[in-house]
A and B are shown apart, each in its own frame.
Chain A
Amino acid sequence: MDLLPFLLTQSLNALSQAALLFFLGVGLTLIFGIMRIVNFAHGTFYMLGAFVGYSAVRFTGSFWVGLVLGPLVAGGIGVAFETGLLRRLYKRDESAFLMVTFGLTLVLGEVIRLVWGVEALQVPTPETFAGIVFLFDEPFPVYRLFLAAAGVVVAIAIWQFLERTRLGLLIRATSQNAEMVHALGVDVKLVRSAIFGIGCGLAALGGVLAAPLVTASLGMAANAIIDAFVIVIIGGMGSFLGSLLAAVLVAFVQVFGAYYFPDFALAAMYLLMLLVLVIRPGGLLGKEA
């Protein structure tokens, strides 16, 4: 393969992976930005998305139903969890959140096992994007192009939502000074519930989209949560743009790292994280140093 087509196909691969990493990381970082809590259950919501996607395809025959239903189910559970449990703990120190979100991981993981069973489940590539295109005579899956495009669309949508809408304004304000926002007569509790639900929904969206690549399986959650943490740490805790930048960086390092240095494929992502932490301890766009 010549250099140009190689660079093009691998870059597109990296962008498709960046989209999945972004969906995972952005939810976690938004939740952290507003609530100052690390949501351990984030990977499990990602996994839940994949399984809901499976059932949607199974019972309605449509991948797109799953793409809507997955985030809704996860977002709904997220909101219920926040209002039912997390809300009682905001006065406690951070370890309480670690325990309770870790507990949610175990419970939700077990529920998924009971509902969907232990075997990995196939989510077929949606018919519309199941084909291949030829880039310089190299076959490339259309679904990966779709993933990359979906990443761009969702990133722009979140950015516009944060910049243009009233809820977006409140979210940004709450992340800077929650007490002041509260003093101005805004129900901060509602903002927190909303952002927790949105974060979990975004993770599930990533899960539904990843399912045709990796199948829906019980191993997804543990894998995903580590990736999500790495994205958030590299990008800077609470930074939307940071998570976008980090997702793209990590994806490129993973794809090209695995190609040129396959023996260090696993280490590449962590080396990048180490490098960023040494140069900027607060992450690329993080506020705290």
Chain B
Amino acid sequence: MEFLFIGFFILSSALILAVPAGRKHLISGIPLLVLLVISSWVAMPAVFSEESSRFLFRIPLTGMKTVVFSIDALSGFFILTVNFNALTTYLFAGTSLAGHLNHHRPIWISVHYLSFLLLHASMLLVCTQQSAFPFLLSWELMTLSSFLLVIFDHTSRTNLKTGINYLVQMHLSMFLLLMAFLVSGEKGSYGFDSLPAFFATHREFPLFLLFFAGFGIKAGMIPFHTWLPDAHPSAPSHVSGFMSGVMIKMGIYGIFRVISAVQHDFLTIGIFVLVISLATGIYGVLQAIVQHDLKKLLAYHSIENIGIIGTGIGLGSIGLATHNKDLALLGFAGGLLHVLNHSLFKSLLFFAAGNVCNATRTRIIDRMGGLAKKMPFTAFFFLLGSLSICGLPPFNGFISEYLLYLGMILNIHQAGFYGSIGLIMAILGLTLIGGLAVFCFTKAFGIAFLGTARSDACKLAVEPPPPSFTGLMLITAMIIAIGFAPVVFVKPLLSAVNATFIPVAPATLTPLLQNLGMISLSGGIFVLLVVGIFLLRRLFSAPRTKSVAPTWACGFHAPSARMQYTATSYADNVAGLSGALVSLNKEMKQISPGEIFPEPANFTSHPVEKLEEWLVNRPFTALRRLLRRIAFLQTGQIRHYILYPFLFLLLIFFLTLLNLL
């Protein structure tokens, strides 16, 4: 059985390598689908009836070496999310790569598809491994395969650079996790299983911090987020969607896993996670607002949404600490649901953005405009993604944010003095994040898709052929389903969370589910109202004259596309208000007073990543300067290098002689 399994994957990989470039997409679907069906099949009972399962997998040709797969509700949930996203990514990958097939050698296309399959498989492994070393191995596999995906367009130097930056940071994460596992494990048994015993007898926060840093790098929590806004724009769009949709969630999975093992110290951990997450959310969305690059903007939104998910985790832990069952339940469930939701709308947005970037050959929002007319389907999907990422009803993003709000509001009355203050601050933070997201996405959609084209490439943009929208339509169906019938999705989630995290006497679900029913009802009424009013409007305007006249510009009759509001001007007032966190680096050449025949002047601005500047760039520049001072030791002459150990020995000798050692 096991032999058959491994053999199948080796054979299909060989097949991918063998077939011509145009066929590789089709062939790689086979192993993907097989893995997808099998893993979903085992994950389903874990999520929907909370039956955790364990099974052994004997590795062929190694004697009796086995790998243990264990799937509980938490793993099952993540597996299903990963699988859905992998399916839609695969469906979109063909379109996304279509333009590249001629630029790259066939072997590189094969490597790309193989790494995609490997990334999917390694994420499934990450979700199912409890023991430290297989877990870290899968973690490493995930890093390497995603690295290969990021540097797909390896002809550009910046892409290579960001890829290597990504690789380095991920190994930092790996190292931190390795340390955390080594600290926590007993001899012979390292892994998540040994965490509860360790937490029960030691101080919990330091170890949690170690895990949090390790997983936080993957998830993109500040201040470890700096790889994210560089890597996503470099990667092809389907890879960005996949990485942002589910790969960074593996960090979240890890944090959930560790929290489920924590025994006492939920309060410190909860407050810590909550504060970091709110900061992550606000920082992410503020940075997103000032970005010119569409994909970078989306990347910063991933950071923001990780913040929202983290807020859920923080609230859940605080709820556990203070024995507020509703808060614990709704916090964790809201966070988990947001994992799923974000994986849906973020991949939708990245795929739509990918279509835009392929069609216009630019990622700069200020050079787009009027695309809704040229690419109506892409525009529709981007709009839908924008609405749901902003958490607006009746779409899915609202449901998860509502769960968080509900948890806070249900508990604010009996939360105690400091609890109330904390909760009201969390409400404030979450609202601010929501408002800023609305600001950011009215900018992104409004400037890129509406108005008139700002460049010639935009005027010539065309939509990819309709079959490429299959994946996007699947996502849309899910977004609408979660938005309008949240009970179907939230109910199993709530009972899974109840079983996993809340130790005694699970909270009652009925009143919570009733609220969600009311939300479905309101959503339905809202849609009926929109349709009704729109039809009424048609009824009224049908018999009247309809005329077409240019947009009013105060009587000015030669408006040009460049006179429109741009993304930069749109973002200007928020950038001005948020002062220290966000800044634009402006470069300009001014006309000096003495110039009679002025040369052409220009003006450019780049958003500055402040945290990266202060936490990474400056310390490292200082370090490099320090190291350069002692570089005189490195002369490149062998006799000097022989002298150094000799001097060292002498030093040891004299120190021993003087009894100083």
A and B held together in a complex: no
